[in-house]
């Protein structure tokens, strides 16, 4: 992969992971949507009533995309980098989805 490909891949992973450079901090417990998502997201999909399956999966996506701002797919490596004085500066490697979320969660797909 060439230099532009490395930067494009890194930026794309960052974009998909969320707003990387916003610097905003949210206290999730203050948000009712977060509290409701947690209530359902950690339910066991195999033992939960069928009518709750859609709500459980939706809640997991809410947590993955709205409240955790830095992760990438398990199948790729995502590095945050910046360009400074013509040099690439490595900032950090993003954790993979299953480094953060339970093993029985299916990695959400971007719609």
Same domain, residue pair 51 and 33: yes
Same domain, residue pair 110 and 74: yes
pLDDT tens, residue order, the chain (111 aa): 334 333 433 433 443 344 333 444 455 566 788 888 999 999 999 999 999 999 999 999 888 888 887 888 999 999 999 999 999 999 999 999 999 899 889 887 776
Phi, psi for residue 4 in degrees, rounded to 5:
-65, -35
Determine the Cα–Cα distance for residues 38 and 34; give it in Å rounded to an integer.
Answer: 6
Same domain, residue pair 84 and 100: yes
- Whether the CB-CB separation of 72 and 96 falls below 8 Å is answered with yes
Strands, E assignment, the chain = 79-84, 87-93
pLDDT at 70: 85
Same domain, residue pair 79 and 111: yes
Sign of torsion, CA 77 64 100 53?
A: negative
Same domain, residue pair 108 and 73: yes
Number of domains in the chain: 2
Q: Range of 45's domain?
A: 26-68
């Amino acid at each position: 992969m060439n230099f532009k490909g490395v930067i494009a891949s890194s930026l794309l992973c960052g974009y998909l992971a969320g707003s990387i450079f916003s610097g905003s901090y949210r206290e999730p417990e203050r948000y009712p949507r977060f509290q409701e998502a947690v209530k359902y997201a950690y339910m066991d999909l195999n033992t939960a009533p069928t009518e709750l399956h859609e709500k459980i999966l939706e809640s997991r996506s809410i947590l993955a995309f709205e409240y955790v701002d830095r992760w990438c797919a398990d199948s790729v490596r995502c590095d945050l980098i910046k360009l400074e004085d013509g040099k690439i500066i490595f900032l950090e490697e993003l954790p993979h989805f299953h480094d953060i979320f339970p093993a029985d969660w299916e990695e959400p797909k971007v719609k």
